[in-house]
Amino acid sequence: MAEELSNLYEELCITEEEKQEVLIPTEEALISIEKSKKCLAAHVVADKEVNRGALRTTMSKVWKVEGQVSFKELGCNKFLVEFQNPLEKNRVLSERPWSFDRYLICLFNCEDCLAPRDIFFNEEPFWVQLHDLPFAGMNRTMGERLGAAAGNVVLVDVDSSGMAWGSFLRVKLILDISKPLTSGRFINLGGKRYWIPFKYERLPLICFHCGAIKHAGLSCPSGNQREGVAPQYGSWLRANSQHRSFQHFSKKRGGIRTLKQLAPK
Ligand SMILES: [Zn+2]
């Protein structure tokens, strides 16, 4: 919509007067860039309009923010969130994903963002647990390979030797929220085939018909709502919130490797 409006001028006969630019002083632009460092854009992915006051009160508590947080409306269920301190904003970003009333709050970092048209709500990071792996596959390389099948790999939760022996391997992935969640992958190890189920930590409401988060609760555009067809997505995709983590241990020893979106989607 914003793009349509911005491009509309191309078809208009602009008058000489309208061609005159309104000059914005550099200092003003710098002030807005400075302000953007304290701001996030947030989109509550819900099929009903959420109450801004309830959202602000709840999320200020959940985020454990010390100073004030302001929520300004950008559109239906879309808000500009301003923190007093950029460090608090960055902490909230690093501890994603968040949800309100079980609906995902998709966040966008507004740093250096100059206009609402530069804001997109397409992806969100999630910790994903890879279950039933043979011990030989509980390592960083396997996390990178399997994680890349579902999203962009950011971190693999392993110890300083690159291993993570336990009941599952954790991988932090950036997921495209408009696409179906990956429910698992087969691996072939030494000629033996294993099904590796993926479970998502802090998973919000999803569409049980197509497995996407983006239209949770809204009518599904996939056409998968046929009668007699069992839902392909369900609560089995949710991970138990109780999990062990190598993250703290690894941080001290530099064991977590940051891949910074090296893997293909
Ligand atoms: Zn759907």
Residue 71 is predicted with a pLDDT of 94
* Angle of CA points 111, 117, 123, to nearest 5°: 65
Band the pLDDT of 18: cuts 50, 70, 90.
confident
* 219 Cα: distance to centroid of ligand 1 (angstroms): 7
Give, as residue ranges, everything with CB less than 5 Å from ion ligand 1. 207, 209-210, 220, 222
Which spans in the chain are helix H? 2-7, 16-19, 26-36, 52-62, 86-94, 140-148, 247-253
Looking at the DSSP bridge assignments, the partners of residue 196 are 185
Helix, strand or coil for residue 187?
Answer: strand
Mean pLDDT throughout 89-117? 90
CA 133 / ligand 1 centre spacing (Å): 29
Of 114-123, 184-193, 211-220, which range is least confident? 211-220
Return the domain boundaries, the chain. 21-118, 123-253
Ligand 1 center from residue 173 Cα (angstroms) = 21
Lowest mean pLDDT of 122-126, 233-237, 247-251, name the range.
247-251
- Mean pLDDT on 27-55: 86
Query: 96 CA to middle of ligand 1, Å?
Result: 23
CA of 215 to the centre of ligand 1 (A): 6
Residue 178 Cα to ligand 1 midpoint, Å, equals 9
Q: Which CATH class is domain 21-118?
A: alpha beta
